[in-house]
Chain A
């Protein structure tokens, strides 16, 4: 089984953190193969940013594909750019706090995550990306949720252990939204 993900937003939203969190989890806690490819705009700050993650039971052939199983969209420009990149049967995860234009497609699952507001509510707007990460894991089950959380503690908590509790809350809020949005 091979699953591909695009995470897209602007620099500073934690785009790469989401992609790397999944990648490190796959590498360090499972037997799966994984590739991560970051793509930045020319700007050093504030530009667009997106990354491609492929998680597979076999060696990954194409680390960057045109169409993916899961698309995570954190801002409006990314929606415009990638809205056609979801494979039929795939899932689109939207940071619905700021992304208002939603494609009219009934062949994919669309999961609205009010991630910006949830993060605000939890007391740190920066943990928006963990809400989104939780939602992806809850809906897709591509990786065990606990492994992802432990990896978050290990990687993000290394420098800022005081962030662990809020990151955990953010991830779990997203996880619940993802699980609830699962297509039966």
Chain B
């Protein structure tokens, strides 16, 4: 078995990306994800990859647009207000259907917020990371092993759908250290083979009859915008059956469900364990893919025996919890446990709120 390595979140994500074959990274300094561009800057020369410190988030994201158009696996990362600046290019890449991996190590907001961790970009990530109504698969890990595995997988998903994929993390996950087992590094031969499949890359006609154009709906004169929008909508719909991924924990006899994603998901899970130890019949639903939303997990619950659902997130006002309420659709009571301002949700507070909602044992 591969060796356990004690790594910082930002660096574990970066190393996993390189092992997945990321050979272009552009970024711009913003706390709390500076260790990501720093890691790529140190590491890229050894894999003959390219690192550029862009002049802004806007430029960095557009650089990734250019790199993706050349057919290499590529990535950019930022935090919250930096992602807002990248949203222009994200929308263009979704419009042009380019595979790219984006990471958001969320900090507080709105605006510059604080540099402390938060989960206040859920709506931005899952509903509109730019204009035009495009969608991306959004993955959110709870621990660093999951972050490593999701990062690695994100590159495959991006290529599979020729579409941006976002990793939604937070400043806490970026800064914390935890043992991880890193995936195998893709070989140069494997990466060449992957690049060779990218026939859309605009590296010259090379004797081909038709030239290739990378652009969004509307500019391509060969297909109408509506046709392209319909094609993309069909792909998004397919994700609802193919790409939903969530963890269920002690659901079968549960009378109260805790639900949370990302860093809050692991805290909620340990709250479930502690509540169980006290005799409360509590279970957990933890979406790993947060777009599309794990509605099916809530549809599968036996509402006859459920007293309520407690949704926890580091966002005020709620964002994720609104999707939970929509999924539950009034079948049971949904309460929230929220924090913001850089305050990691305290497990004790989650337990307290859960007991309140649970009532008598």
Docked pose: A27 CA to B12 CA in angstroms: 15
Distance of A34 Cα from B5 Cα, bound (Å): 11
Q: Is the CB of B346 within 8 A of A27?
A: no
Minimum distance in angstroms from A14 CB to a CB of chain B: 16
Docked complex Cα distance between A27 and B3 (Å): 10
Query: B271 an interface residue at 8 Å Cβ cutoff?
Result: yes
Residues of B within 8 A of A64 (CB): 172, 344
- Closest chain-A Cβ to B313's Cβ sits at a distance in Å of 15
**Within the assembled complex, what's the spacing in Å between the Cα atoms of A60 and B179?**
11
CA distance A42 to B267 in the complex (A): 26
User: Restricting to A1-40, which residues have a CB under 8 Å from any CB of B?
Assistant: 20, 23-24, 27-28, 33-38
Q: Are B6 and A59 in contact (CB under 8 A)?
A: no
Cβ of A61 under 8 Å from chain B: yes
B266-A62 in contact (CB<8A): yes
B148-175: CB near A (< 8 Å → 1, else 0) gives 0000000000000000000000001001
Give the docked Cα–Cα distance between A24 and B5 (Å): 9
Is A35 a contact of B273 with CB atoms below 8 Å?
no
Question: CB-CB < 8 A to B4: which residues of A?
Answer: 27-28
Judged by a CB distance under 8 angstroms, whether B347 is at the interface is yes
Contact call B177/A35, Cβ cutoff below 8 A: yes
Q: Quick one: which of A55-70 are within 8 Å of B by CB?
A: 59-67
Given A20-B177, A36-B177, A36-B178, A63-B172 contact (CB < 8 Å): yes
Report the separation of the CA atoms of residues A60 and B311 in the bound assembly, to the nearest whole angstrom.
20
Contact (Cβ within 8 A) A27 B347 = no
A residues less than 8 Å from B5 (CB atoms): 27
**Given A28-B4, A66-B348: A61 and B269 interface contact (C-beta under 8 Å):** yes
CB pair A33–B175 under 8 Å, yes or no, is no
Q: Which of B179, B266, B347, B348 has the most CB of A within 10 A?
A: B179
B110-147 residues with Cβ-Cβ distance < 8 A to A are: 115, 143
Cβ-closest chain A residue relative to B5: A27
> Number of A interface residues, CB 8 Å?
21
User: Is B270 an interface position by the 8 A CB rule?
Assistant: yes
> CA A37 – CA B9 in complex, angstroms?
10
Report Cα–Cα, A64/B5, bound state, in Å. 21
Contact B6 A62 (CB under 8 A): no
Assess the B175–A38 pair: CB atoms within 8 A. Answer: yes
A4 CB, min distance to chain B CBs, angstroms: 11
Contact B347 A23 (CB under 8 A): no
Q: Is the Cβ of A35 less than 8 Å from the Cβ of B176?
A: yes
Complex-state Cα separation, A38 to B347, whole angstroms = 19
Q: Which of B176, B267, B346, B348 has the most CB of A within 10 A?
A: B176
Q: Which of A83-142 contact B (CB under 8 A)?
A: none
Contact B270 A62 (CB under 8 A): yes
CB distance from A28 to the nearest CB of B (A): 7
Q: Are A27 and B172 in contact (CB under 8 A)?
A: no
B143 near A59 with CB under 8 A, answer yes
Q: Please name 17 further chain A to chain B contacts, defined as beta carbons within 8 Å, in addition to the given A36-B177, A38-B175, A62-B347, sorted by A numbering.
A: A20-B177, A23-B177, A34-B6, A34-B179, A35-B177, A36-B178, A37-B176, A61-B266, A61-B267, A61-B269, A63-B172, A63-B176, A63-B266, A64-B172, A64-B344, A65-B346, A65-B347
Task: Report, nearest first, the 5 A-B pairs whose CB atoms are least far apart.
Answer: A61-B270, A27-B6, A36-B177, A27-B179, A37-B176
Seen from chain B, the residues whose Cβ lies within 8 Å of a Cβ on chain A are: 4-6, 115, 143, 172, 175-179, 266-267, 269-271, 273, 344, 346-348
Residues of A within 8 A of B (CB): 20, 23-24, 27-28, 33-38, 42, 59-67
Provide a sorted-by-A list of 10 A–B residue pairs whose CB atoms are within 8 angstroms: A23-B177, A27-B5, A34-B6, A34-B179, A35-B178, A36-B176, A37-B175, A37-B177, A38-B176, A61-B269
